[in-house]
Chain A
Amino acid sequence: MTKPNAQTSIFSGVTLAALAAVILMPLVLPSATLATEILIFAMAALGCNLLLGYTGLLSFGQGIFFGGGAYIASLSMIHLDFGLFGALVAAMIAGSLLATLVGALAIRRTGIYFVMLTLAFSQMAYFLAYTLSDWTGGDNGLLDVPRPALSLFGFELADLTSSYAFYAFVGVLFLAIFVFARRVIHSPFGTTLVAIRENEGRASAVGFSTNHFKLLAFVISGGITGIAGALYAMLLNFAPLSNIELLMSENILIMTIIGGTGSLLGSLLGAGTIVLLGDLLSSIWPRWMIILGVALIAVVLFMPSGLWGGVESQCKRWKERRCTAGKTSGKAQEAK
């Protein structure tokens, strides 16, 4: 795991690959809206990955943070006249606070009981949002969510109503979060999370109070997911109830797992795959989720480290083959 410095520098290596993806996606994909959706879910998957891939915590609470962020951002813009950054910060804080609440209680148990607790919270949050229809719009969702212009200290810098302008904004934010996530992973905190994932008993025996670490992982994950939720509401101009449904938590988890846990680019790849599959297949066949199920089974069975892991090992094999091919041709020449 100890990599040379050039690769652990948070601005090089995979960050450049993420940058390339952000630049290329709107050029290749049919619409900027689709590309924006991919980046938003990639953020949510990054947040999930921090818990699942790096800390080893399978949380069904991600939808709570996503939906909570979407609602708080929307409500703060509609009722309190919050601007773009104000709404995003509000969503981040809301996501973190919700994650603190869920995390603090759930991490008191481990393994399957931990998972069940996050599941219970997820159901509670859904019914709470459903019941509080005066605020959330209930089943109809929260309508007329604005997408404020990008402004700083009252000066309007850019209007984000065009889908490309909004994509550019989300792209920059995504890269910032990506770099932040890399910083977290290669920090004392992040390496301790990996230690907890690998062997919690030993992590505790060498002196880490593991619950504090798990809780902070939740807080960071919740904050990132909250921002993603807020951006999604701005993208749709609408905050549907489905944001906070259990299905949202599942979707985020599936993206994280299919892309590959424990690698940040995997989250982007996973989100891209699921969003694109959904977009392509749902128009052809309304039961496209069946195919998604098959894809998930295939990845879990045959590519335990996800699509990104598959890409990595394929690259490695290809490199090795080139090496051995080079050697054998060299030998052949010697023989001549």
Chain B
Amino acid sequence: MSDYILETENLGLRYGAFAALGSVDLKIRRGSIHTVIGPNGAGKTTLFHCLTGERRPSSGRIRFAGRDLTRQPPHKRVASGMSRSFQITSLFQNLSVRENLRLAAQGRDGLGALAFWYSDTHRQEHVRKADEVLERIKLTAQANTSAGDLSHGQQRVLEVGMALCSDPEMLLLDEPTSGMGVDDIPVMTRLISELGKDLTVMLIEHNMRLVMSISDRITVMHQGNILIEGDPDQVRGDERVKKAYLGESGS
């Protein structure tokens, strides 16, 4: 088994003459927390969308757990062991927190969930999975609350919990702390570093304190390409990174 769970090779996405993603060779080590940072427009989200299957890259390949899934649609990547969260909270707002998680667990059945002839509670493993994740994300007390009635911070945590329900090998988190208040961020930081013990986590994030404290590896993107990659200390001290963030004229 390769050391790397996810490898991209020459991954690019062009919109006409504009290259949103130039040519990205990204390798993510199994069991690590790998963060992608970069100024706005650096191509982080485009990269993310290519990895989750929302955008089809115009060049290059994506290998995940030894398989090529460059052209696989998003829903099939779940069965391969890849799971994602959204930058803009995307929940089943009117359903209870437990039902949100149960449905997310049911998602791994794929077409098996087309069964319309037996009760949903028949599949106890999904209910159990939901309860297990509830405990992990510490929302057990809110299990019967509608997802839409949770506080913003709790919704962000549930957002990550949904991605956990499919028992993924790798989690892709799109700005997990987006819009979170200062008080809630430590909760998310703790959750992600906990998850990093069992899973591979790749995230896009703007909150530098969180990034520096939990990442094993950081990739800095700039203008559609990888600028540098290294551990937090290397990235913190790098002149090119400062330049990229401050802009060319800022130096």
Whether A associates with B in a native complex is yes
Chain A contact residues, CB within 8 Å of chain B? 1-2, 5, 8, 183-184, 186-192, 194-195, 198-199, 201-210, 212-213, 216, 220
For window 65-114 of B, CB contacts with A under 8 Å fall at 73-76, 78-79, 83-84, 86, 90-96, 98-99, 102-104, 106-114
A187 and B99 contact, Cβ closer than 8 Å, known pairs A207-B166, A209-B110? no
A207 contacts B115, C-beta separation under 8 Å:
no
A199 and B90 contact, Cβ closer than 8 Å, known pairs A2-B99, A186-B119, A189-B115? yes
State the CA gap A203–B116 with chains docked (Å): 17
State the CA gap A220–B84 with chains docked (Å): 32
User: Does B15 count as interface, using CB distance less than 8 angstroms?
Assistant: no
Closest CB in chain B relative to A169 CB, distance in Å = 24
Inter-chain contacts of A220 with B (CB < 8 A): 116
A187 and B86 contact, Cβ closer than 8 Å, known pairs A194-B95, A206-B162? no
State the CA gap A58–B116 with chains docked (Å): 21
State the CA gap A213–B166 with chains docked (Å): 19
User: Could you say which interface size class chain B belongs to?
Assistant: 35 or more
For window 136-186 of B, CB contacts with A under 8 Å fall at 144, 162, 165-166
B116 contacts A191, C-beta separation under 8 Å:
no
From DSSP, what is the main secondary structure of chain A's interface residues? helix
A1 contacts B96, C-beta separation under 8 Å:
yes
State the CA gap A305–B165 with chains docked (Å): 31
Subset of 17 A-B contacts with CB under 8 Å: A183-B116, A183-B119, A187-B120, A191-B106, A191-B120, A192-B106, A198-B92, A204-B74, A204-B75, A206-B107, A206-B162, A207-B109, A208-B107, A209-B110, A209-B111, A212-B111, A220-B116
Q: Which of A186, A199, A213 contacts B114 (CB 8 A)?
A: A213
State the CA gap A325–B53 with chains docked (Å): 57
Closest CB in chain B relative to A56 CB, distance in Å = 11
State the CA gap A209–B106 with chains docked (Å): 12
State the CA gap A210–B74 with chains docked (Å): 11
B119 contacts A8, C-beta separation under 8 Å:
yes
Q: Which of B92, B110, B119 contacts A199 (CB 8 A)?
A: B92
A202 contacts B96, C-beta separation under 8 Å:
no
A188 and B93 contact, Cβ closer than 8 Å, known pairs A195-B103, A205-B84, A209-B110? no
User: Does B209 count as interface, using CB distance less than 8 angstroms?
Assistant: no
State the CA gap A207–B123 with chains docked (Å): 17
State the CA gap A297–B74 with chains docked (Å): 40
- Of all chain A residues, which has the CB nearest B78? A207
B113 contacts A208, C-beta separation under 8 Å:
yes
Inter-chain contacts of B121 with A (CB < 8 A): 5, 8
- Of all chain A residues, which has the CB nearest B101? A206
- Of all chain B residues, which has the CB nearest A216? B114
B93 contacts A198, C-beta separation under 8 Å:
yes
B120 contacts A186, C-beta separation under 8 Å:
yes
State the CA gap A206–B84 with chains docked (Å): 8
Closest CB in chain A relative to B16 CB, distance in Å = 25
State the CA gap A210–B79 with chains docked (Å): 15
User: Does B18 count as interface, using CB distance less than 8 angstroms?
Assistant: no
B75 contacts A207, C-beta separation under 8 Å:
yes
Closest CB in chain A relative to B26 CB, distance in Å = 21
B144 contacts A2, C-beta separation under 8 Å:
yes
B74 contacts A2, C-beta separation under 8 Å:
no
Q: How many A-B residue pairs have CB under 8 A?
A: 113
B116 contacts A202, C-beta separation under 8 Å:
no
Q: A1-B99, A192-B106, A205-B84 are in contact. List 8 more A-B contacts (CB 8 A).
A: A2-B98, A187-B118, A189-B113, A189-B116, A191-B103, A206-B104, A207-B79, A207-B108
Closest CB in chain B relative to A183 CB, distance in Å = 7
Closest CB in chain A relative to B98 CB, distance in Å = 6
User: Does B52 count as interface, using CB distance less than 8 angstroms?
Assistant: yes
Inter-chain contacts of B117 with A (CB < 8 A): 183, 187
A192 and B113 contact, Cβ closer than 8 Å, known pairs A202-B90, A205-B74, A208-B75? yes
State the CA gap A201–B113 with chains docked (Å): 17
A195 and B110 contact, Cβ closer than 8 Å, known pairs A184-B116, A205-B75? no
Max count, chain A CB within 10 A of own CB: residue among B74, B112, B120 = B120
Q: Which of A183, A203, A205, A212 contacts B86 (CB 8 A)?
A: A205
- Of all chain A residues, which has the CB nearest B165? A206
A202 contacts B115, C-beta separation under 8 Å:
no
B106 contacts A2, C-beta separation under 8 Å:
no
Closest CB in chain B relative to A251 CB, distance in Å = 27
Inter-chain contacts of B110 with A (CB < 8 A): 207-209
A199 contacts B108, C-beta separation under 8 Å:
no
Q: Which of A190, A199, A207 contacts B91 (CB 8 A)?
A: A199
State the CA gap A202–B96 with chains docked (Å): 15
State the CA gap A285–B193 with chains docked (Å): 71
State the CA gap A262–B113 with chains docked (Å): 20
- Of all chain B residues, which has the CB nearest A220? B116
State the CA gap A53–B110 with chains docked (Å): 23
State the CA gap A51–B78 with chains docked (Å): 26
Inter-chain contacts of A208 with B (CB < 8 A): 75, 107, 110, 113
The 3 closest A-B pairs by CB, nearest first: A207-B107, A206-B107, A207-B78
State the CA gap A208–B162 with chains docked (Å): 13
